[in-house]
Amino acid sequence: QSILTQPPSVSAAPGQRVTISCSGTSSNIGQHYVSWYVQIPGTAPKLLIYDNNKRPSEIPERFSASKSGTSATLAITGLQTGDEADYYCAAWDSRLNGLFGTGTKVIVL
């Protein structure tokens, strides 16, 4: 089964910036839109980014995303302790499959 590859974890001190990469192929990220989700342990995931780079109204501007070719990137600026969570990218795959990334744990030092 195809997957989208993310780093297992990223870390930074409060106030700093972290980025999370999401690597796919031409049949998923290369062709279709990317979304991102945040999951605080013990809770359901929540939509963070849609349409490659748009934020739902309740998501702070500190969260941004971009897509280039077959990869996508999520950036968090002004890191806060409350941002500690698991982050997942997702995209449709042309082989009729809804793919998720492997997930990245953000650690605030």
Partner 1 sequence: QVRLEESGPGLVRPSETLSLTCSVSGGSFTNYYWSWIRQPPGKGLEWIGYVYHDGGAIYNPSLKSRVTISVDTSRNQFSLNLRSMTAADTAIFYCVRVFHEFDAPAGATNWYYDLWGRGTLVSVSS
Told to check if 73 binds partner 1 by CB under 8 A, we report: no
Told to check if 81 binds partner 1 by CB under 8 A, we report: no
Q: Pattern of binders to partner 1 over 3-32, x per CB under 8 A?
A: ----------------------------xx
List, in order, residues 6 or more apart from 76 with CB less than 8 Å away: 17, 18, 19, 20, 62, 63, 83, 106
- Nearer to partner 1 (CB atom), residue 1 or residue 13: 1
Among 97, 104, 96, 93, CA closest to 25: 93
Q: Count other C-beta atoms under 10 Å from residue 78's C-beta.
A: 13
Binding site for partner 1 (CB under 8 A): 1, 31-33, 35, 37, 43-47, 50-51, 56, 88, 90-92, 95-103
